[in-house]
Amino acid sequence: MKKTLVDIAISGKRVLMRTDFNVPLNDTRNVTDDSRIVAALPSIKYILDNGGKLVLMSHLGRPKGEVKDEFRLDPVADRLSALLKKNVKKMDDCIGEDVEDAVNDMAADDVILLENLRFHKEEKKNDPEFAKKLASLGEVFVEDAFGTCHRAHASTVGVTKYLPSVAGFLVSKEIEYFEKVTKNPEKPFCLILGGAKVSDKIPVIESMLDKVDYLLIGGAMAYTFLKSRFKGVGASRIEEGMTDTVERIFKLAREKNVSIFLPQDHVVATGISPKAKAKVVGEHIPDGWIGLDIGPKTIKEYKKVLKESKTIVWNGPVGLFEMKPYMTGTKELAKFIARLDATTVIGGGDTAAAVNQLKLANKMSHMSTGGGASLEYLEGKVLPGIAALNEKQ
């Protein structure tokens, strides 16, 4: 068990906390979805309520080790100030004399937000000197950015060499739910996998076949599976060279008595556009047509399986949900899962975005804040950002 915020004294101390404020911004640089900021509030408020001086750090976008104004964290500071109803002081860098002076002048209940960590190439390289400079800003370190825990960066792993390091409430909850579904799931257990690429999900399937009873497949990755079953996939996206891999998955599933469900009908279109001509077809997609969502028969079948399940993990939308004509499958399954008496864990990334868009997040047992991190957890990998935290005695 990892130590958490409640296991350390923070009164009067400088608390350095890694958050995931990598939020979407619009053209006027306003935050369009603040769910990642909101997710960090329980840890932030606990630290402030218990007399800590809070120094927050995050990345935003992909500045590739250069200072780029479009990736500055000012919009995040503004949004966080509004949520906390108090001033969050935003720095122009994450290390240096100005930052050190501001941190040394802090009083209990003050909040400072450092500038984008990834303006420094040393962050992703986990450079020891850079990590040491970041660590010097705190007396304890709190990891609350699950979305970056699968990365061995200076702000996730490097700083833990110099400071007592614990999990924030967000990361604690992620650990709790992913440990539950990977180590001791209530049965029957259903895994839903969607998204674009089969290759991204193979390690998850291989790791989870020992644990699940049902595997429901949707999204563009379904067409590679269907092609291996000699179904017509038209002009749908498929991954070449994956036939042997898919065959191996079917063989493994048979050995482990896992039922794999593939789409039986499809919403197809003449192009990847909301204005393209679209229709529902059966199990074979005609030449020239692209599969973009699961059809009504498949939705009905998948709901039947889900109704039987006591644990459900979902990673990857089952259709191109960003476009209205192709979001029905994802929407119908999300609404159905939200009503079930089961442990429901939604992998981060696009799946979380879809569930948030449908305003169903509070109806799920757990909404993960990390797409890549949740995938690696399901793959059975050790996440370096979690492994680096202190153990409870």
d(CA 298, CA 282): 10
What Å distances lie between residue 7 and 29, 167, 307, CA to CA? Answer: 38, 10, 39
d(CA 252, CA 205): 10
Maximal C-alpha separation, the chain: 68
Indicate the Cα dihedral angle 60, 64, 69, 73, nearest 10°.
Answer: 20
Cα(first)–Cα(last) distance of the chain, in Å?
9
Computed from CA positions of residues 268, 272, 273, 276, in that sequence, does the dihedral angle turn out positive or negative? negative
- Which residue in this structure is represented by tokens 């399986």? 305
Spell out the residues 6+ positions from residue 387 whose beta carbon is closer than 8 angstroms to its own.
none
Structural contact between residues 284 and 268, judged by C-beta atoms closer than 8 angstroms: no
Length of the chain counted residue by residue: 393
* Catalytic residue annotation: 36, 197, 349, 372
CB neighbour class for 311 (10 Å; exposed up to 12, middle 13-18, buried from 19): buried
Q: For 263-330, give the secondary structure using H, E and C.
A: CCCEEEECCCCCCCCEEEECCCECCCCEEEEECHHHHHHHHHHHHHCCEEEEECCCCCCCCHHHCHHH
What Å distances lie between residue 101 and 17, 50, 96, 313, CA to CA? Answer: 18, 23, 9, 46
Structural contact between residues 35 and 75, judged by C-beta atoms closer than 8 angstroms: no
Q: Which of 24, 144, 114, 31 is nearest to 78 (CA)?
A: 31
CB atoms within 10 A of CB 161: 14
Where do the H-state alpha helices sit in the chain? Answer: 35-49, 74-84, 97-104, 121-124, 128-135, 169-183, 198-208, 221-228, 243-255, 296-308, 328-338, 349-357, 371-378, 384-387
